[in-house]
């Protein structure tokens, strides 16, 4: 940690796999819904099978394209005074958290995170708007290291 401007760096490459599985699950549910709609409403029409085929094509392209784009646009940086999280494929968001505003910190790992070796740093800040900042895709050791560094900074501010 050095200076006021954090150097932005990428998250773990394994995060792309977490995104792939999450997106695939979402599209599988949507394809299932489209199959039901097809069976109930479209089965006897000339459009029978078109809706599930469309959803399958969209789902496959989403699983193939979206994770890489999301991963490429997720960056973070930690300096002596700031945590910066930059993300956004369709909508760009650049969040800067002054460390003096941090209330408490969490490191979370769901089943997919454990499977692909990632973790999420959750930073709770003072205030109401954007009071929870998440940084997914970190390695578990890096997330714990960042949590400890921020916690140490918070302790020295109140000492």
Strands (E), 45-125: 75-78, 82-87, 93-98, 102-108, 119-125
pLDDT at position 128 is: 75
Which tokens hold the place of 93? 């968001």
pLDDT at position 158 is: 59
How far, in Å, CA of 102 to CA of 81, rounded?
11
Q: Quick check: helix, strand or coil at residue 10?
A: strand
Question: What are 70-111's pLDDT values in tens digits?
Answer: 999 999 999 999 999 999 978 999 999 999 899 999 999 999
pTM of the model: 0.86
In this structure, are residues 130 and 107 in contact, taking their beta carbons and an 8 Å threshold? no
* For range 120-149, the mean pLDDT: 93
* H helix or E strand, kind and range, residue 141: helix 140-158
* H helix or E strand, kind and range, residue 135: strand 132-138
Sequential DSSP letters for 34-51:
HHHHIIIIITTSTTTTHH
Cβ-based neighbours of 10, under 8 Å, separated by 6 or more = 71, 72, 74, 75
Question: What are 6-64's pLDDT values in tens digits?
Answer: 899 999 999 999 999 999 999 999 999 999 999 999 888 888 999 999 999 999 999 99
Looking at mean pLDDT, say which of 2-6, 24-28, 123-127 comes out highest.
24-28
pLDDT at position 2 is: 46
């Amino acid at each position: 940690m050095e200076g006021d401007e954090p150097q932005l760096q990428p998250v773990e490459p394994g995060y792309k796999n977490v995104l792939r599985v999450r997106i695939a699950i979402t599209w599988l549910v949507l394809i299932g819904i489209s199959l039901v709609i097809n069976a109930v409403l479209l089965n006897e029409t000339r459009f029978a099978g078109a809706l599930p085929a469309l959803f399958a094509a969209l789902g496959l392209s989403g699983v193939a394209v979206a994770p890489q784009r999301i991963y490429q646009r997720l960056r973070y940086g930690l300096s002596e005074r700031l945590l910066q999280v930059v993300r956004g494929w369709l909508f760009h968001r650049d969040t800067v958290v002054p460390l003096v505003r941090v209330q408490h910190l969490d490191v979370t790992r769901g089943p997919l995170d454990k499977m692909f070796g990632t973790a999420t740093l959750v930073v709770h800040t003072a205030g109401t708007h954007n009071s929870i900042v998440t940084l997914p895709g970190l390695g578990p050791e890096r997330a714990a290291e960042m949590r400890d560094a921020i916690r140490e900074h918070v302790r020295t501010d109140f000492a």
